[in-house]
Structure 1
Amino acid sequence: MANPDQDRVQTLKRTLFDLSFLVMNADGTEHISEKMLVKKLERRLEREGSVDVDGRAEELRATVEQGPDAVHERVLELADELMEQGGDQAEVLADQYLELLKGLIISDANVAPVEYQLFQVLCNHWDVDKEIPEP
C-alpha cells in the first residue's frame, strides 16, 4: 500500500526538478554553471529514486520546444501543484524553491529575460518577495 506522505514527497521532488528544468532551459541555452548545478540535482534525485530524470527531461523538452507560452503555462500549473501538495508548509516550500531557482539563475552571472520573467511569475503567484538582477 502506498504511503501518502511518501507520495507527496515524491511529487514535491518531481515538481522541483520540473521547475528547475523549465526555468533553466526556457531561454534555449544552458550555461556551464547552470548545467553543473542541474546535473548535481539530477544525480541526487536519481540516486534517491525520486525522479526518472531522462523521462522527465524528455517530456519537459517537448514543452520547451512548444515555446514560451507553453513553458509559462506549465510553470503556473507546477506552482499550483506545489501549493496543493505543500499543505501547511506550502509557503515555506515556495520560498525554498525560489531560493534554489535564484541560485540556478544567477549562477552564470547572466540572467536571461525569460528566466527573470518566470522567476517573477513564480514570486507573484506564490506571493513571495524575492529579487534577482534584471537582465
Structure 2
Amino acid sequence: MRIYLLGSILRAMHTTNPADFRSFYRSLDADAKRRFADAAGTTPKYIEVHLVYARRIPRPDKMEQLFAACQAFGAPFDLGQLIAFFYAESKALKTKTVDSVDEAAASDDTQGDAGGEAESRPKRASGSGRKTKQFPADARVA
C-alpha cells in the first residue's frame, strides 16, 4: 500500500522543485489536491482560497498537519520555509492593502472645491433604502 501511495504521489507532481507552498500545491493534479487536503485535515477549497494566497495563517497544530502533508507529498521545503511563506505573503498583502487605502485617502484630501472650502455632505447608508419593520424586544416568535 505504501509503495502504491508513494508512486501515485510522485506521479501527481508536475514540477521537479517547486519553490514555495503555492507552486507546490499548484503542481498537484486534482485528485492529489483532494488527497493532500485530507492529509492536511482541511478541504481543497479552503487551501485554494485561504492558504495558497496566505490570506489566513494556520494555527500551530494545523501548520504541523499541513507540513506533514507537504512532506508526505514530497515538498522540498522545511517547516521554517513553510512558516516564512505564510508570514511573508501575509505581510505583503497587508502592506499592499494599507498602501491602496492611503493613496485613496490622499487623493480625497488634495481635491477641494474652487472656493477653497471643502463641501461636507452626509454619507448615505448602504442598502436599498427601504425601511425595515422594527419589532419590540419582548415579541415572541411562534
**TM, length-normalised to structure 2:** 0.27
**TM, length-normalised to structure 1:** 0.28
Q: More helix by proportion, 1 or 2?
A: 1
Higher RCO structure (Cα 8 Å, ≥6 apart):
1
Q: Which has the larger radius of gyration?
A: 2
